Amino acid sequence: EVQLVESGGGLVQPGGSLRLSCAASGFIFSDHYMDWVRQAPGKGLEWVGRIRKKVNSYTTEYAASVKGRFSVSRDDSKDSVYLQMNSLKTEDTAVYYCARVGRGFDIWGQGTGVTVSS
Amino acid sequence: DIQLTQSPSFLSASVGDRVTITCRASQDISSYLAWYQQKPGKAPKLLIYAASTLQSGVPSRFSGSGSGTEFTLTISSLQPEDSVIYYCQQLNSYPLTFGGGTKVEIK
């Protein structure tokens, strides 16, 4: 079965850090770009960032709202993508989804919740 | 950044009705547009990519059209399970952006 499973969410204080993981199965992970998308409570979808594949030198793209604070990485040997979140703000509170990039975002994880609060 | 404006933000229709949602881009995005459906508490699901191509497994009552700056998602015969939120997304340039969403309700 093709699936993505996120983990690592939780409660963190403003200014803190958190690392989210997304484990892939059922497809050739290394063949795909991978993205992160978030959704604040009761709000719409916001694209967070992307990591390309090895042939594209694993280059990354970020939304302006997270650039310099968040970092996307991947480990193709573990079929996993990561989102390192530093200097967290209350407005980063959201459900975070990883997604496989095909012709659109064709596979999504179930999401992991991040709450930034003191 | 490319802004996507969805309209309406809310619509109410009866089972069997034909429903159309519009997504307007602030600049030309060719056909780099996708549509998603999101049920409460669940991850979004890809319905349409490249503006008009139906994702595998998606019912044929869903269709997409448009190019450039104006796009539509049509549900030819609304079913009870279609009463959820729909989002458009542009994949033409960074940052990738989503429309604000359209909530569809059954009358």
Measured distance CA(A115)–CA(A46) in Å, rounded: 16
Q: Which is nearest to B74 in space by CA: B63, B83, B85?
A: B63
Contact status of B99 with chain A (Cβ, < 8 Å): yes
pLDDT the model gives residue A92: 98
Q: Consecutive sets of 10 residues in chain A, 118 residues long: mean pLDDT of each?
A: 98 98 98 98 98 97 98 98 98 98 96 98
Which residues touch A89 (CB under 8 Å, ≥6 apart)?
A14, A116
Which residues in A lie closer than 8 A to residue B44 (C-beta atoms)? 37, 45, 97, 105, 108
pLDDT the model gives residue B4: 98
The CA–CA distances, whole Å, from A114 to A4, A68, A93, B4, B39 equal 18, 19, 5, 26, 20
pLDDT the model gives residue A53: 98
Q: Do the Cβ atoms of A23 and A37 come closer than 8 Å?
A: no
Q: Which of A45, A102, A108 sits opposite B98 (nearest CB)?
A: A45
Low-confidence spans in chain B with pLDDT less than 70 = none
Measured distance CA(A108)–CA(A4) in Å, rounded: 6
Which residues in B lie closer than 8 A to residue A104 (C-beta atoms)? 34, 36, 46, 48-50, 55, 89, 91
**Which residue is closest to B42 within chain A, CA to CA?**
A110
Omega prior to A41 cis, within 30 of 0: no
